[in-house]
């Protein structure tokens, strides 16, 4: 009975912290410039992805190919995959280049389990023509 309770708790915890990828944009600039150059600004683009890992192996992560979906066993929580997601969104919005890209990575240990981690990556930049 105790083992079943532990398995149920682990399954519920995994469902609560399942991976997620998202891309958000800000286009309302109030006549402000995002960059110093003469290129017209398109939008500020921010992308994030996070997922649950067992030690270094991905269990559930957000899909950077289709934000909002989950993927299982794929290591999508990397700076490279989130930069790809953000720059693709900027290109879809009419941007010719992405400037001022910044990224942030973090890994948080899921207490009291010694083997589970939540990894996250966030990337933002300005899409310009």
Each residue's pLDDT tens digit, 28-42 = 877 777 777 767 778
Q: Report yes or no on 10 lying in a domain.
A: no
Q: What is the count of structural domains for the chain?
A: 1
Longest CA pairwise span in the chain (Å): 68
Tell me the pTM.
Answer: 0.78
**Structure confidence at residue 5 (pLDDT):** 62
Q: What is the CATH number of the domain that holds 100?
A: 3.30.110
Q: Report yes or no on 12 lying in a domain.
A: no
Q: Report yes or no on 86 lying in a domain.
A: yes
The whole-angstrom separation of Cα 78 and Cα 68 is 16
Q: Report yes or no on 3 lying in a domain.
A: no
Containing structural domain, residue 122? 18-128
**Structure confidence at residue 25 (pLDDT):** 87
Q: Report yes or no on 99 lying in a domain.
A: yes
Q: Report yes or no on 5 lying in a domain.
A: no
97 SS3 class: strand
| Residue ranges of the chain whose pLDDT lies below 70 | 4-19, 38
């Amino acid at each position: 009975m105790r083992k079943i309770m532990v398995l149920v708790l682990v399954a519920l915890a995994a469902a609560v912290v399942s991976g997620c990828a998202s891309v958000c944009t800000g286009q309302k600039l109030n006549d402000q410039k995002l960059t110093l150059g003469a290129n017209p600004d398109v939008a500020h683009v921010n992308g994030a992805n996070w997922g649950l890992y067992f030690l270094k192996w991905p269990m559930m992560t957000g899909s950077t190919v289709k934000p909002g979906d989950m993927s299982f066993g794929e290591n999508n929580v990397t700076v490279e995959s989130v930069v790809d997601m953000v720059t693709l969104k900027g290109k879809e919005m009419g941007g010719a280049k992405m400037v001022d890209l910044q990224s942030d990575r973090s890994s948080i240990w899921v207490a009291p389990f010694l083997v589970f981690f939540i990894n996250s990556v966030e990337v933002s930049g300005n899409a310009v023509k």
